[in-house]
Amino acid sequence: MTTRHAPGTGELAPGLSAPSVWPRSAVVAPGGDLAVAGVALSEIAERWGTPTYVLDEDEVRARARAWRRALPEADVVYAAKAFLCRAVVDWVEQEGLGLAVRTTGEMELAATRGFPASRMILHGSAKSPEDLRTALRFGVGRIVIDSDCEIARIAAQVPGPEAQRVMVRVLPGAGTGAGRGVGAARGQEFGLSIAEGGADDAIARILGQPRLELVGLHCQLGPGTADPAVYAGAVRRLVAFMAHVRERYGITPGELDLGGGFAVAYRPGDPAPGPAQYATAVLGALDDACAQYGLPHPRLTIEPGRSVVAPAGIALYRVLSVKRTGGRVFVAIDGGMSDNPRPALYGARYTARRVGRPSDAPMRAATVVGRHSEAGDVLAESVELPDDIRPGDLLAVPASGAYQLSMAGSSDMTGRPPVVALADGRSRLLVRRESFEDQRRRDVGL
């Protein structure tokens, strides 16, 4: 049974004022604990153990609605890669979003909840034969072509009689100013280059396939793009390419999908524009570019995933050890790269807060590390924690709702953590903890 701490009561925790890395329902509960959606995080840890991931359901829903309000005429499609489970499929469907999927597993999971296949978009730079078979069997609304070798492969499997609707993922080029998000638009494995002619060649081949219907262009500007002007630059380049397609092939693609990649704050001070800021930049650029080239406005699609679910998630860990050496403090937790490989893969960094007991000790910079004895297993650096931190303390890591459990593994056979939803002062289990027995069943060799 959980004790309710009503959102809006109590004192806002330091660092929780907007723009915040914590869910908007987060408040300091009596005794220095932190409550989210009316539930004390220490109670979650006691009930479900650690590591455990929690999701503020109302935060997920509110962020989905914010995107729909910002772009009411656009198709808002949740990027399943950020995190997907049956409950999230339901929330997305109930809030009127589509679903961008990349694998057979994601499509099958959505299908078990009755999610309409017509509102799915299949992505992927390397779609497997099973992925394509499943998408065509379900009748997904769009397949995004990422390489020219997919064109004939898809066309050969379309069951008919209707053509499969496809989009071409293009690289807008350095003109977007996207920096690392777009890369240099060359020499990368994703999409087809406008500058080098790959996108043009793909469109010509698609138009030669009667079982395929080209409906639009797609691009992905990369993760954590915090400058709305980058999206505006991409829109201008893509509309210019649409004008080229009209001139060369006599057709005007009717849809423009700008993908996702919208930034969130992982640490206090990180830039994180809201949906309205992105929408203003995108719609302004779209108006100008379409007027310049005399094109009708294409149907716009965006694919927020991280920006919907990351700020709604919190990871809870127990401190296993505290080491003070060489003037530094290392705080080791009972999770790490097994449940969150992002720091080890590309240097992502988080913040952390001790919860569950009050302290008058001064704050001191510490490094939070995982339990897996790997140099890259570092979760947070120079994070302020009480100087009396000790084994058994509970750490809460915000902005943990995206790309952690969806990328998690079972390093050292630790098993993946559970996911618990918080809403209206109550908690409920969404995904159970992976047990040793789960792993043992997979080991069939003798």
Q: Quick: pLDDT tens for 128-172.
A: 999 999 999 999 999 999 999 999 999 999 997 899 999 999 998
Q: How confident is the model at residue 205 (pLDDT cuts 50, 70, 90)?
A: very high
Report d(CA 95, CA 303) in Å as an integer: 14
Handedness of CA 338, 59, 38, 385 (dihedral sign): positive
Calculate the alpha carbon distances from 16 to 21, 75, 143, 298, 421 in Å.
Answer: 7, 31, 40, 39, 20
Q: Which residues contact 19 (CB under 8 A, 6 or more apart)?
A: 265, 272
Q: What is the pLDDT of residue 285?
A: 98
Higher pLDDT, 411 or 43: 43
pLDDT higher than 70, residue 265: yes
Considering only CA atoms, which of 307, 318, 315 is closest in space to residue 408?
315
pLDDT higher than 80, residue 196: yes
In a domain, 173, yes or no: yes
Calculate the alpha carbon distances from 218 to 162, 213, 301, 338 in Å.
Answer: 22, 14, 9, 33
Q: How confident is the model at residue 188 (pLDDT cuts 50, 70, 90)?
A: low
Mean pLDDT for the stretch of residues 267-276: 94
Considering only CA atoms, which of 330, 333, 318, 335 is closest in space to residue 394?
318
CATH number, domain at 301? 3.20.20.10
Q: How many domains does the chain have?
A: 1
In a domain, 147, yes or no: yes
pLDDT higher than 70, residue 15: no
Report d(CA 46, CA 351) in Å as an integer: 22
In a domain, 256, yes or no: yes
Residue 242 burial (CB count, 10 A): 23
3-class DSSP state for residue 155?
helix
Asked which of 97-106, 163-172, 324-333, 435-444 is least confident by mean pLDDT, the reply is 435-444
In a domain, 87, yes or no: yes
Considering only CA atoms, which of 88, 28, 20, 32 is closest in space to residue 56?
88
Q: Which two tokens stand for residue 420?
A: 């618990």
Q: What is the pLDDT of residue 248?
A: 96
**CB 397 within 8 Å of CB 11:** no
Q: How confident is the model at residue 337 (pLDDT cuts 50, 70, 90)?
A: very high
Calculate the alpha carbon distances from 160 to 127, 156, 210, 300 in Å.
Answer: 21, 10, 10, 27
pLDDT higher than 90, residue 364: yes
In a domain, 405, yes or no: no
In a domain, 22, yes or no: no
Q: How confident is the model at residue 20 (pLDDT cuts 50, 70, 90)?
A: confident
Residue range of the domain that includes 274: 58-310
Report d(CA 29, CA 41) in Å as an integer: 9
Mean pLDDT for the stretch of residues 327-354: 95
In a domain, 265, yes or no: yes
Mean pLDDT for the stretch of residues 65-76: 98
Q: Is the pTM of this model over 0.85?
A: yes
Q: How many helices (H) and strands (E) does the chain have?
A: 12, 21
In a domain, 219, yes or no: yes
